[in-house]
Amino acid sequence: MEKTQLVFGPYPPSAPTSSLAQDQIFFDSAGGSQALGAVADAIATHFLASNVQLGPTYAAARRARANYDAAFAAAARFLNCRPDQIVFGPSTTQLLRNVSHALDFDDANDDADDAPSSSKRDEIILSAIDHESNIAPWLALAHRLHLRVTWWNPTTSSSSSLLTTLADPSAPATGIAALVSPHPPRLRPPHLHPLRLPAPFPRLRSLGHFFHDPATLEGKLGLAAASYELLQAVPAVVDYLGGPDGPHRRAADANQTAVLRPFLAYLAASPDKFTVYGGTDLHPARLPVVSFSVAGWSSRRVVEEVEKVSNIGIRWGHFYAPRLVGEILGRLEDGLDGIIRVSFAHYNSVEEVERLITVLDSVLSQPAPTSNA
Ligand SMILES: Cc1ncc(COP(=O)(O)O)c(C=O)c1O
């Protein structure tokens, strides 16, 4: 097989300051990828040159303001929207909670003592396949405002792919208020997330100070400001990726396919041993995230055995989606401990995947140590 030519650019794997230089194979990009060297540099530069408040007119403060605005401009380029449609927050969990607190529903729902009959109440349709950060705020909102909650549990076996499930014929026919994912690029800066919403925002009350501009999403949901230092990372990430046809983006996409192919083929070759959630097809919408379980094995035990004999970082559990992993996939009952997740980023190589396959083969050639699987 032709070896993928990855443009490593600011990720020199041998540089002593690169996190990739350590003796660790990172197969957990769904939880967060390693940071670019340019990101670390940008954050350090902020502390050295512009670590001041945004409002003043002296030179360092003007630099700070310009850098802050540059982050919004870069994110807007990447998300194909205007800067005023973006808010940054410390986590997806926080951003969605903020949106849920700001959303304005029919006043009739608002009065706890005079709750309207159920047929008149606004309704929230929740999908159980989501990360809990996108479920808990809406359940709390429904509780506060006496809204009806309807659960949509997709029926297809490929429920791990949001794209697949939105095409699911069992999806509710009523409109789904789609929030643009605050988690778009898995190549992400430090723990900092953009949220984009379509403007204007007539159904959003402002959580901000009364004198902040309610015509911008930041004014409404930003609660003063995002982390100045972490925002410095955003232009570095967007510059690295370039547009959809930028060389790093194309190399990353090609690498994603190259590393997924052998791993999916390996799992697909032993259907009696591996159950793969989301299927083993390598289609264009496939994200580089593979979730599976091993017949006769606890997921935790597989990961622990892999760690005993290698430097490969993979994970087990429910990944903050216990409704999906438990109620839908049935992997949290009777002592089961969830699924195994292997996720790739553009700096992973086919050689690393082959190493994982060799290690899994060796680990799973032992007798299964538990019947919890
Ligand atoms: C799909 C998805 N949504 C939401 C989250 C929650 O992110 P945060 O830790 O930023 O709240 C994660 C975390 O990994 C995630 O994978």
Residue type, 309: V
Number of Cβ within 10 Å of residue 301's Cβ equals: 18
Report pLDDT for 177: 36
| Ligand 1 centroid distance, CA of 269 (Å) | 31
Q: For the chain, how many structural domains are there in total?
A: 2
Question: Do both 172 and 282 map to the same domain?
Answer: no
Q: Report strand pairing: 86-89 vs 193-196.
A: antiparallel
Mutate to test the pocket of ligand 1, among 28, 131, 138 (most ligand atoms within 8 A of CB): 131
Question: Does an H or E element contain 138, and which?
Answer: helix 136-145
Residue nearest to atom 3 of ligand 1 (CA): 131
Q: Give a yes or no: residue 326 inside a domain.
A: yes
User: For residue 31, which atom of ligand 1 is closest to its CA?
Assistant: 14
Q: Give a yes or no: residue 57 inside a domain.
A: yes
Question: Do both 129 and 224 map to the same domain?
Answer: yes
Which one of 240, 267, 291 terminates a domain?
240
Q: Give a yes or no: residue 277 inside a domain.
A: yes
Question: Does an H or E element contain 230, and which?
Answer: helix 228-231
Question: Do both 260 and 198 map to the same domain?
Answer: no
Question: Do both 115 and 258 map to the same domain?
Answer: no
Question: Do both 230 and 191 map to the same domain?
Answer: yes
- Which of 324, 311, 293 shows the shortest CA–CA distance to 133? 324
Q: Give a yes or no: residue 5 inside a domain.
A: no
Question: Do both 214 and 172 map to the same domain?
Answer: yes
Report pLDDT for 199: 81
Which one of 240, 271, 287 terminates a domain?
240
In sign, the C-alpha dihedral spanning 192, 195, 201, 205 is negative
Q: Report strand pairing: 25-26 vs 312-313.
A: parallel
Question: Do both 105 and 228 map to the same domain?
Answer: yes
Mutate to test the pocket of ligand 1, among 133, 192, 324 (most ligand atoms within 8 A of CB): 133
Question: Do both 86 and 207 map to the same domain?
Answer: yes
**Domain extent for 325:** 19-34+242-364
Mutate to test the pocket of ligand 1, among 183, 188, 315, 318 (most ligand atoms within 8 A of CB): 183
Question: Does an H or E element contain 22, and which?
Answer: none
Q: Give a yes or no: residue 23 inside a domain.
A: yes
What pTM was estimated for this model as a whole?
0.84
The stretches of 1-127 forming alpha helices (DSSP H) are: 37-49, 59-79, 92-102
Question: Do both 101 and 231 map to the same domain?
Answer: yes
Torsion over CA of 197, 199, 202 and 204, rounded to 10 degrees? Answer: 30
Report pLDDT for 3: 36
| Ligand 1 centroid distance, CA of 332 (Å) | 20
Q: Give a yes or no: residue 298 inside a domain.
A: yes
User: For residue 30, which atom of ligand 1 is closest to its CA?
Assistant: 16
Using alpha carbons only, give the angle 356, 20, 38 rounded to the nearest 5 degrees: 140
Chain centroid offset of residue 300 CA: 22
Q: What is the CATH number of the domain that holds 67?
A: 3.40.640.10
Which one of 208, 240, 272 terminates a domain?
240
Residue nearest to atom 15 of ligand 1 (CA): 131
Q: How far apart are CA 105 and CA 88, in angstroms?
A: 24
Q: Going residue by residue through the chain (373 aa), what tens digit of pLDDT does each one get?
A: 333 334 444 454 545 567 888 899 999 999 988 888 888 899 999 999 999 999 999 999 999 999 999 999 999 998 999 999 999 999 999 999 999 999 887 655 555 555 555 556 788 999 989 999 999 999 999 999 999 999 987 765 444 444 344 444 444 433 333 343 434 334 455 678 889 998 888 889 999 999 999 999 999 999 988 999 999 999 998 998 887 677 788 888 889 999 999 999 999 999 999 999 999 999 988 999 999 999 999 999 999 999 999 999 999 999 999 999 999 999 999 999 999 999 999 899 999 999 999 999 999 999 887 555 6
Using CB distances shorter than 6 Å, the residues near ligand 1 are 30-31, 91-93, 131, 133, 183, 193
Question: Do both 95 and 213 map to the same domain?
Answer: yes
Question: Do both 248 and 233 map to the same domain?
Answer: no
